[in-house]
Structure 1
Amino acid sequence: MAYSKWKWLFVTALLSTGMGLFFYAAGIFLPWLLGPLVIMMILKNTVEWPFYWPNWLRNTGLLIIGLQMGTSFTKEALLIMVLNLPLMLLLTLMIVGFTAVSALALSKNTEYCYQTALLGSFPGGLSQMVLLSEEVRGAQTSAVALMQTIRILLVITVVPFLVTYFFPSAEEGMSQTVLPMITTMPVLWLFFLACSVLLVLKGMKKAHFPIPFMLAPLLCVVGFNIITSSPFALPELSIGAAQIALGAHLGLQMNGLRGLLSLKPLSIVVGINLALIVFCIGLSFVLNAAFSFPLIDMFLSAAPGGVAEMAITAYSVGADVSTVTSFHLFRIFFILFAAAPATVFLLKRSLREAG
């Protein structure tokens, strides 16, 4: 049994890395994330092979991505983030409002009830929305999972494509700061950083924080940067390996699509998610004109994707990773700890009053 798992782990890693190399050689955007995701998604829905990708690989990838994201948060970047809190709230409220209206349109044109349409449309993470749907009477958990999967798939393919080929590059005319590699840092500093990551991770898991394996290293590196004033960089090889680990995991999570693609509401769900992306593009132009923020930073900050995926995209195209990450972290915390619980409470109350 153990031999079979290791064999299929090797096969999964080989196929994922091979497709990443193919995407890289073909010049496709985000090759190390999208290559593994695409090949695993296709094979998971077409063949009956027992692919194996343990959670510790996905978690290790998130740890590395969290470390890399944290290196972008200097004291100056944190100050800008604090000053931008009102803008973050405004942007989040506008996206949540658009989601609520589009969910109403979805429920009126399909067999989905409003609670299913709303939880399936929230850009708050697939697993979190599925868990919340289990608490609301009448919500279809499988439909919520399907809609969230479609949203994630569209965002992590359409958004990187747009910013790579249609948005002005953030790297043009900019001098890139070369940071020292993490391997050159004092061993004692790295030891304390590692211990702090483990302690914060343990606390976050106990408190049921979302995406703890990414947030713990991110927050610890931010603290490290503030205390030591010595930000560092990670080797490109480790960042690529982390993207492969995350891409393979995401691809394997998108199973069961073959039996769902013929569903009548599919085109409406796709259309609504594309409309949300277009809405975010419009917001980015407005914010760019009103506040002079770089257009590419604003679009990636507004895009309805996951924190890790949008941060990787920002890193790949030379956008400000700290800005993009801070906007998405604010949004996910607002949705998970304010908007979504309030929505569940209101839906439960309306169902009690109706029944």
Structure 2
Amino acid sequence: MTTIVVIVAVISGYVLMKIGMFLPWLFGPILAAVSVSRTSSKTIRWPRFLGDLGLFILGTQIGATFTMHVLKDIRNDLFSIILLNIMIIGAAVILSLIFRRITDCTYETAVLSAIPGALSQMIVMAEENKRADLLAVTLSQTSRLLFVVMSVPFIASFSGGDVTGQTQRAQSVFDVLNWDEVGFMAAMITAVFLLLRRIHFPVPQLLAPIFAVTVWNLMTGEVFSVPYALIAAAQLMFGVRIGLQVVDLSSQLSARLFIGIAVQNTLLIVVTFILAFLFSAHDFNDLFLSLAPGGMAQIIIVALESGGNIAMISSYHIFRIFFILLVIAPLLQVVLKRFDKGGQIS
């Protein structure tokens, strides 16, 4: 069945590309996975390593955009990165109250369902908190990624540039580096990946190549890009996994939880739109994608296709991950444990 899914995904992506559809190599595989899954009596298992391979490819392209010049620009923009991320997370916490009212869940469930950008950390916290509904948190966090994939690209496409984005602004990695250098970089990525996985850092498949390739750029000054064919392949591998998640989640979501998730995420995207409009120092598309509730990987795919500033957008999302892990998650843990002991929130 995996072979059939791949064939249908390639055909779907090609057809959507020919008719000018935005993100054809993401939406084509999503539609293919849903269609094949719905019409087949067999359960489709998409190998996890294929989805992970797609993340490694995307991470390499992201890391390739972090040059010394770009990092200096990001340093000058640090205040905005901190302020706007705090505003987005604050808005998510406030909107969790609406989610709680709609779904009639506990406050713990609502807050852990609302925080964007650290899916695995929120799920772990839900497992540890006896007042949190683990299934609701998992479905809410996972569904947000799918909601973002379905909605953000169409908003970004109205303000974006060339669909090929930055993937064609530098020579291919295979033209710039020799095979020994490619092998050395692969070893660097592997080492960083193993380190991040050992310390249970989120999305190591994406962040490891970002960190490793950024270090390579700063050490060598060699600028390259990942060939667009590989970017399309990464989207295909990632898109099939998303499509199968859609099928799986659709059978588990209750109507009440679905409405709560839709309302919460729609309002969060509206807040993102307003903030991007008000803080107009940057291109609207770049700032909107920088603030959009991730999946970081999903947002970067949109940025690649819409001609976004990959380094800037990535820096906002990477900061959000660190901020959630180092500040928000520990703070939430303390607050929720205190309420749990005191029984003050129901």
Normalising by the residue count of structure 2, what TM-score does the alignment of the two structures yield?
0.92
Q: Which moved more, 1:154-163 or 1:116-125?
A: 116-125
Q: 1:182 aligns with which of 170, 173, 176?
A: 173
Q: Structure 2 CA distance, aligned partners of 1:236 and 1:20?
A: 14
CA distance in 2, matches of 1:146, 1:95: 21
Tell me how large the CA RMSD over aligned residues is.
Answer: 2.2
For residues 329 and 181 of structure 1, the distance between their equivalents in structure 2, rounded to whole angstroms, comes to 25
Is 1:107 the equivalent of 2:100?
yes
Equivalent position of 2:302 in the other structure: 313
1:149 aligns with 2:137: no
How does 1:251-330 map onto structure 2 within 5 Å? 251-288=243-280, 292-330=281-319
Matches of 1:151 and 1:59 in 2, distance apart?
Answer: 19
Q: What CA distance in whole angstroms lies between the structure 1 residues aligned with 2:261 and 2:39?
A: 23
Alignment CA distance shift 1:111-1:159 (3 Å): same
- Please tell me whether the aligned partners of residues 68 and 233 of structure 1 are also in contact (alpha carbons under 8 angstroms): yes
Gaps of 5+ in 2: none
The range that moved more, 40-49 or 182-191, is: 40-49
Contact 2:148 2:294 in 1 (8 A): yes
Asked whether the 8 Å contact 1:201–1:212 carries over to 2, the reply is: yes
Structure 1 stretch displaced more, 15-24 or 28-37: 15-24
Alpha-carbon shift at residue 175 of structure 1 (Å): 11
Q: How far apart are 1:208 and its partner, in Å?
A: 1.2
Q: Provide closer, same or farther for how the CA distance between residues 196 and 114 of structure 1 changes in structure 2, counting only shifts above 3 A.
A: same
Deviations 1:17-62 (A, max 9, x none): 2222232223221111122123324554675422121111111111
For residue 121 of structure 2, the aligned residue among 128, 132, 143 is 128
Partner of 1:88 in structure 2? 81
Counterpart of 1:75 (choices 58, 64, 68) is 68
Could you tell me whether the CA contact under 8 Å between 2:300 and 2:310 is conserved in 1?
yes
Structure 1 runs not aligned, ≥5 long: 1-7
Distance in 2 separating the partners of 1:182 and 1:353: 57
Structure 1 distance, partners of 2:337, 2:38, is: 35
Task: Write the letter of the residue equivalent to 1:19.
Answer: S
Shift in Å, 1:177: 7.4
Aligned-partner residue type, residue 51 of structure 2: R
Distance 1:47 1:138 in 2: 38
Which residue is equivalent to 1:198? Answer: 190
Residues 201 and 249 (structure 1), Cα distance of their counterparts in 2 relative to 1, 3 Å cut: same
Contact 2:26 2:238 in 1 (8 A): yes
Instruction: Render the CA deviation track for 1:189-214: whole Å, top value 9, x for unaligned.
Output: 22321221111111111111111111
- Which string of whole-angstrom CA distances, capped at 9 and with x for unpartnered residues, describes residues 280-332 of structure 1? 000001111xxx21111100001112111111111111110100011011112
Q: In the aligned structure 1, how far is the partner of 2:34 from the partner of 2:118?
A: 18
Q: Indicate if the aligned counterparts of 1:297 and 1:319 stay in contact, CA closer than 8 A.
A: yes
Count of residue pairs brought into register by the alignment: 342
**Deviation of the 1:354 alpha carbon:** 1.8
Whole-Å separation in 2 of the counterparts to 1:306 and 1:133 = 19
Letter of the 2:33 partner, please give it. Answer: M
Residue in structure 2 matching 1:60, options 47, 50, 53 = 53
1:337/1:45 Cα in 2 relative to 1: closer, same or farther (>3 Å)? farther
TM-score (norm 1): 0.90
Using the aligned pairs only, state the percent identity: 33
Q: 1:131 to 1:19 in 2, by over 3 A?
A: farther
One-letter amino acid of the structure 2 residue matched with residue 283 of structure 1 = L
Partner in structure 1 of residue 321 of structure 2: 332
Q: 1:332 to 1:9 in 2, by over 3 A?
A: same
Counterpart selection for 2:214 from 217, 222, 242:
222
- Give 1:119's match in structure 2, choosing from 112, 118, 123: 112
Please say if 1:9 is aligned against 2:17: no
Q: What is the deviation of 1:150?
A: 2.7
* Secondary structure in structure 1 of the residue aligned to 2:3: helix
